[in-house]
């Protein structure tokens, strides 16, 4: 599958403000600065679509992007202007420099989107591949499991490591996860810089879309 066109739709603070449609949504979550917005830009081939920043805490709303592909999902399309599916950029969690009130508000926004948004078909949980497994991510994954949310792991910033170190870190992370997860969630190794993992992620989304038809 290739994305032909992507456009920004809307930013919402509440799930009740999210757009009404019936197409599947794929959402990106993870710690602030892990590369969620950059990954959305990499997948869509539009570096200006989602706002990114070297400083953590950039995304503070639920952002919907409409995706048009060369592999229409959901059977016959109503019209050429009906998107095939949506990408959703979420605020990051765990940004220590935010006030507790602000952190709680964002956490509430994220969790209610994840739990209540019926269109949310698969959540991608992003992990910076350079880091050791972080408590906050492992706990978030446990919460996803307990809440029966389908999710996959996306390792980001692969370009920042040598091939050897990359394999080592991915394997060590999966090893750590295997203490709690059987089977392991699907995982992808990506770089927004080199586009590594792009076709794998798009094919995965395409595969899920087709299974929904």
- Cα–Cα distance, 8 to 181 (Å, whole number): 35
CB of 30 to ligand GTP, least distance (A): 6
The verdict on 32 binding ligand GTP (CB under 6 A) reads yes
- 172 CA to centre of own chain: 22
State which of positions 65-104 bind ligand GTP (CB under 6 A). Answer: 91-92
The verdict on 37 binding Mg ion (CB under 5 A) reads yes
Among 58, 64, 157, 198, binds Mg ion (CB under 5 A): 58
Any residues with CB less than 8 A from the CB of 143 and at least 6 apart, and which? none
Instruction: Tell the burial category of 211 from Cβ atoms under 10 Å away from its Cβ (0-12, 13-18, 19+).
Output: exposed
- Phi, psi torsion values for 189, nearest 5 degrees: -110, 120
Q: Give the ranges where 25-162 is alpha helix by DSSP (H).
A: 36-44, 100-116, 135-146
| Residue count (the chain) | 213
CB of 200 to ligand GTP, least distance (A): 14
The verdict on 59 binding ligand GTP (CB under 6 A) reads yes
* Per-position x/- string for 114-143, each x denoting binding to ligand GTP as judged by CB under 6 A, each - no binding: ------------------------------
Query: Residues 200, 205, 210, 211: is their CA dihedral positive or negative?
Result: positive
Q: Compute the 3-state secondary structure of the chain and give helix, strand, coil in percent, each to the nearest 5.
A: 35, 25, 45
Q: Candidates 28-36, 72-80, 126-134, 186-194: pick the segment binding Mg ion (CB under 5 A).
A: 28-36
* Helices and strands (DSSP H and E) totals, the chain: 5, 7
Among 23, 33, 59, 119, binds Mg ion (CB under 5 A): 59
212 close to 24: Cβ distance less than 8 angstroms: yes
- Both structure tokens of 27: 């959402």
Our CB check for ligand GTP shows the closer of 69 and 190 to be: 190
Give the one entry of Mg ion, ligand GTP, none that residue 98 binds, where binding means its C-beta sits below a cut-off of 5 to 8 angstroms depending on kind. none
State which of positions 171-210 bind ligand GTP (CB under 6 A). Answer: 191-193
The verdict on 44 binding ligand GTP (CB under 6 A) reads no
CB of 41 to ligand GTP, least distance (A): 8
The verdict on 33 binding Mg ion (CB under 5 A) reads no
120: β partners: 25
Q: Which residues bind Mg ion (CB under 5 A)?
A: 36-37, 58-59
Binding site for ligand GTP (CB under 6 A): 32-38, 52-54, 56-59, 91-92, 156-157, 159-160, 191-193
């Amino acid at each position: 599958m290739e994305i032909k066109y992507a456009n920004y739709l809307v930013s919402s603070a509440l799930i009740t403000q999210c757009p009404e449609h019936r197409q599947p949504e794929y959402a990106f979550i993870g710690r602030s600065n892990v590369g969620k917005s950059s990954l959305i830009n990499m997948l869509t081939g539009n570096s200006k679509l989602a706002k990114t920043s070297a400083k953590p805490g950039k995304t503070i709303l639920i952002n919907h992007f409409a995706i048009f592909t060369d592999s229409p999902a959901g059977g016959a399309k109503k019209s050429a202007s009906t998107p095939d599916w949506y990408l959703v950029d979420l605020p990051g969690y765990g940004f220590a420099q935010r006030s507790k009130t602000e952190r709680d508000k964002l956490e509430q926004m994220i969790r209610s989107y994840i739990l209540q948004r019926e269109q949310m078909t698969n959540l991608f949980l992003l992990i910076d591949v350079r880091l050791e497994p972080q408590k906050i991510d492992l706990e978030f994954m446990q919460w996803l499991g307990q809440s029966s949310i389908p999710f996959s792991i996306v390792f980001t910033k692969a370009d920042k490591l040598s091939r050897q170190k990359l394999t080592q870190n991915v394997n060590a992370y999966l090893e750590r996860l295997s203490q709690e997860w059987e089977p392991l969630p699907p995982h992808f190794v990506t770089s927004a810089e080199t586009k590594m993992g792009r076709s794998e992620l798009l094919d995965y989304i395409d595969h899920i879309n087709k299974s929904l038809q």
